[in-house]
Structures are given as structure tokens and as C-alpha cells.
């Protein structure tokens, strides 16, 4: 049992906060660990590896359901990696779409700033643009 650790140690070792670890357990991304006689969660090396995988996937912006699929696929190394590739390609499309929307948003804000006469609020182009929705881009979230 010496290779097992409490949730605080797991948190320090992986850089994932304790509430987040509990959340991942609650949604089934991280299996519920065995407990000590004192009812403390005890985690082993597999939990460390899995949590690092989850953390890295989240840092790359993968959604929880995609991570769930990736974890499932990672446990079946004999399968083709076509599904993993498809998940990554779909994620890349999502990232590309976000970049396009953010680029359009950046351009609109730049135009608002350039149009600003640096005068009084009554003639402020930024306030005017924000007040009139028909002048604004409609950025999907």
C-alpha cells in the first residue's frame, strides 16, 4: 500500500486541483479509488497517469466527452487509431472555427477603436457601435 497516495498528494503530483479531481471522479473520467479504513481516497500510479492524460487533453481544449472516448480508446491499443485521428481532426475544425470568429471580433474592435474621435462620449464611436446591434458582427459562441 506504500505506492498509494491521498488526494492532496495526487493533486500536487499532477497539478490538478482537488475539487477538479473529485469532479472527474463524479463524471466517471477518473475511476473511484479504493478507500482506506478511515475512508480516505487512495490513488496509485494509474490514477496519476490517467489524470495527467486528462489534464493535458483539457489544456489542448478537448471537451469532456472527447476525452472520455480518447481514454476508452487508449485502453484498447490493438484497435486502429482512425477514431483517435477523427476526434483530433474534429477538434482542429473547432479550433479553426474559433480562431476565425476571434479574428473577426478582433477586426471589429480594431475598427471601433480607429473610428473613435477621441472626443466626448456623446460622439464616441465605440459606445455608438455597442449601442446599436445592427452595426455589430454577430459572433456565434
DSSP state of 119: S
Task: Please give the CATH topology (third level) of the domain spanning 7-62.
Answer: Multidrug-efflux Transporter Regulator; Chain: A; Domain 2 (1.10.1660)
Domains of the chain, residue spans: 7-62, 82-135
- 0.85 cut: is pTM over it? no
The pLDDT of residue 121: 75
Compute the CA torsion angle 61, 63, 68, 70 (nearest 10 deg).
-40
DSSP H or E segment with residue 61: none
- List, for residues 78-112, the tens digit of each pLDDT value: 999 999 999 999 999 999 999 999 999 999 888 88
The pLDDT of residue 141: 46
Asked if 43 contacts 5 with a C-beta cutoff of 8 angstroms, the reply is yes
Instruction: Please choose, from the candidates 81, 80, 56, 76, the residue with its C-alpha nearest in 3D space to the C-alpha of residue 67.
Output: 56
- List, for residues 8-61, the tens digit of each pLDDT value: 999 999 999 999 999 999 999 999 998 888 888 899 999 999 999 999 999 999
Amino acid at each position: 500500500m506504500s505506492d498509494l497516495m491521498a488526494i492532496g498528494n495526487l493533486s500536487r503530483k499532477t497539478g490538478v486541483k482537488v475539487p477538479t479531481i473529485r469532479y472527474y471522479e463524479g463524471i466517471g473520467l477518473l475511476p473511484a479509488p479504493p478507500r482506506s479504513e478511515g475512508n480516505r481516497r487512495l490513488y496509485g500510479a494509474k490514477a496519476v497517469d490517467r489524470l495527467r492524460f486528462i489534464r493535458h487533453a483539457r489544456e489542448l481544449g478537448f471537451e469532456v466527452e472527447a476525452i472520455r472516448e480518447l481514454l476508452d480508446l487508449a485502453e484498447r491499443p490493438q484497435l486502429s487509431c482512425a477514431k483517435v485521428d477523427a476526434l483530433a481532426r474534429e477538434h482542429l475544425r473547432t479550433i479553426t472555427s474559433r480562431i476565425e470568429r476571434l479574428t473577426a471580433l478582433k477586426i471589429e474592435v480594431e475598427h471601433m477603436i480607429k473610428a473613435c474621435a477621441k472626443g466626448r462620449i456623446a460622439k464616441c464611436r465605440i459606445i455608438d457601435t455597442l449601442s446599436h446591434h445592427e452595426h455589430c458582427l454577430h459572433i456565434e459562441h
